[in-house]
Amino acid sequence: MRVLLVDDEMELASTLAERLSMRGIDADWAASAEAALELVRKNPYDLAVLDVKIPKMSGIHLKKEIEAIQPSMRFIFMTGHGSEKDFQEGAAEAGAGYYLVKPVKIEVLMEKMNEAFQGERREP
């Protein structure tokens, strides 16, 4: 499995990528939407973990841009702002069913990744 993590908090993105790599998952990270799109154009990914609020482009808009390049990718969103209800309302519009509230625990991220590939959607 190859995963792309996108968050303007570089320490969070790089740490999550490192922890996924320690679990045998090929993980890259980007700190901006522009850098993420460049990686997506160059590399095949199975899944992207996107921060909802990144500079210059929302994570939900970035999802649409990525899908235009790699339509089969799956997505998980992270948010540190607002409530789960606020996020669900915005994400439903973009077709995003998986989300995490920061700070992200690696075990929870792994669980959501497994759910995304099993096609399950568990409501909290």
What does the pLDDT read at residue 102? 85
Helix (H) or strand (E) run with residue 107 in it: helix 106-118
Q: Could you tell me if residue 105 is inside a domain? A: yes
- Local confidence band at 79 (pLDDT 50, 70, 90 cut-offs): confident
Instruction: Let me know if residue 123 belongs to a domain.
Output: no
Average pLDDT score over the chain: 85
Number of structural domains (the chain) is 1
Q: Can you give the pLDDT at residue 118?
A: 80
Lowest-confidence region among 33-37, 55-59, 82-86, 98-102: 82-86
Residue 124 lies in a domain: no
> Percent of the chain, pLDDT > 90?
59
In a domain, 44, yes or no: yes
Check residues 70 and 79 and name the one with the higher pLDDT: 70
Q: How far apart are CA 59 and CA 53, in angstroms?
A: 6
User: What residue numbers bound the domain in which 112 lies?
Assistant: 2-118
CA distance 23 to 93: 33
For the four alpha carbons of 48, 53, 56 and 59, in that order, the dihedral sign comes to: positive
Mean pLDDT for the stretch of residues 48-57? 91
Record the tokens describing residue 110, joined without a space.
Answer: 């792994």
Q: Domain with 44 in it: what CATH number? A: 3.40.50.2300
Highest mean pLDDT among 3-12, 49-58, 99-108: 3-12
